[in-house]
Amino acid sequence: MKLLIINTHPVNYHVPIYKKLADSTEFDVEVCFLWDVFSARYRPSQSFPMHYDKSLLNGYKHSFLKNISLKPGPTFWGLINFGLFSKIKNSQCDAVLIFGYNYFSAWIALISAKILGKKIIFKGESDLLAKRSFFKEIIKKVYVKTFFNRVDYFLYSYKKNAEYYCHYGASRRSLYFMPCAVDNEYFQAIAANLDRQEERGRLGFAEDEVVMLYVGRLEPRKQPDLLLRALSHFCKTKIRLVYVGDGSMMAALKDQVKALSLENQVRFDGFKSHELINAYFKSSDLLVLPSLLDPSPKVVNEAMNFSLPVIVSDKVGTANDLVVNRQNGMVFKAGDVNSLVLAMKEVAFDQAVRARLSEKALSTVSQWNYQLGVESVKSIMREVSHA
């Protein structure tokens, strides 16, 4: 038995899945990447400013296919790999796991696997929260249903993701849970080794401050400006808002801080590496994500591994799923500043509430782990073997 995984490029959140599957004695695993981000041709762009370490390739069998796109990248025409048919055929695999459908080579992989009689497994992280015009929805429905009709098994990341699959034609019995997860053991080990008081001192946070953290791009979709409007209700309090990230809204946000007279309560610390962000998680009291659209932001998982309570909008895909309102965090109505103010007030000013949410955050995220997804893939492969 063999599983061939097809993905665009090495992604740090996916690598632990590959490694755990590679450790399986039930079947062989190979990962085929369509975009060589380690080649001399790769250039990080402003819209995709990522740098990659070759350690992402350790621990599992992998290969790169030739990409003939004139503009390689994570776009529809940025991945054109006609070698997929031969790769699938020569791999002698029993099933093909395709990550995503919004690039040309996903269709090459789908059609090739179908022609060659391979079982097709699909993994994506979309939901129905985004609003589209009637015309765009018709196009979307035709596109996605055409793709999904040829898929045998679906790996869903959260409840809204499962609803998305079913909306576009997947049957409930074809769904298997692969939670949107991060390396919990890695982050929890770091959390245990960092000293909170030491890190707060190093980052310049006072002992009596309640540090509210935002991590991510500063762009309209994530609505970072809503935090400033909410914070203006708590002027001259001990709440400090720290933005970790960069983006197109940076200048406008700084102007807004001045206009609202929040200079003493807001910091912009810019883009930080994953290693440096861990210190912010350890030093903060809560994470806030006010996005208007955000399917499965891994920063929520990472923060919860540091026992941070999280406040998320109801347009975050994992809201009311990974983040359960008033149990391990708070969920507020997206775009509603008053709803956010109420959530902030309850969490920021009540230490007992923070402690209760903190404890539950860690226990919840521990259950959203890679092993659950690995077991789902194993179940699918067993079913394939008996087909």
Are 173 and 296 in the same domain?
A: no
Euclidean distance between CA atoms 72 and 357, whole angstroms: 44
What mean pLDDT value characterizes the chain? 94
Q: Which amino acid is at 368?
A: W
For 279, the token pair is 């210190």
Give dist(CA 180, CA 274) in Å, integer. 18
Give SS3 for 221. Answer: helix
What is the separation of C-alpha 114 from the centre of its chain, rounded to a whole number of angstroms?
Answer: 29
Same domain? 159 vs 188:
no
Name the residue with tokens 């002992």: 207
Residue 41, CA distances (Å) to 6, 36, 71, 106 in order: 21, 8, 10, 22
Which letter does DSSP use for residue 12 in this model?
A: T
Mark the ranges of the chain whose per-residue pLDDT is less than 70. 40-51
Both 193 and 172 in one domain: the answer is no
**375 and 363 share one domain:** no
Q: Which two tokens stand for residue 271?
A: 């883009």
Count of residues making up the chain: 387
Written as one string, the DSSP assignment of 30-54 is: EEEESS-TTSTT----SSS-----G
Who's near 338: CB < 8 A, 6+ residues apart?
none
Residue 385 three-state SS = helix
Q: pLDDT value at position 135? A: 87
Residues 21 and 154 in one domain: yes
Report the C-alpha gap between 39 and 56 in whole angstroms.
14
Question: What is the model's pLDDT at position 134?
Answer: 87
pTM: 0.91
Domain count, the chain: 2
Residue type, 46: Q
Are 251 and 319 found together in one domain? yes
> Which domain does 332 fall in, by range?
184-367
Write down the pLDDT at residue 42: 55
Burial label, 367 (beta-carbon count in 10 A; 0-12, 13-18, 19+): exposed
Q: Do 174 and 28 reside in the same domain of the chain?
A: yes
Residues 129 and 274 in one domain: no
Residues 211 and 357 in one domain: yes
195, 306 contact by CB (below 8 A): no
Question: Quick one: 57 and 171 in the same domain?
Answer: yes
Task: Please check whether residue 251 is in contact with residue 259, taking contact to mean a CB–CB distance below 8 angstroms.
Answer: no
Q: What CATH number does the domain containing 128 carry?
A: 3.40.50.2000
DSSP 246-315: --TTHHHHHHHHHHTT-TTTEEEEE---HHHHHHHHHH-SEEEE--SSBS--HHHHHHHHTT--EEEETT
CA dihedral of 347, 351, 352, 354, whole degrees rounded to 10: 40
Distance from chain centroid for Cα 87:
29
- Looking at residue 309, its pLDDT comes to 96
Q: Looking at the structure, tell me whether residues 254 and 297 fall in a common domain.
A: yes
The SS3 of residue 204 is coil
Residues 264 and 222 in one domain: yes
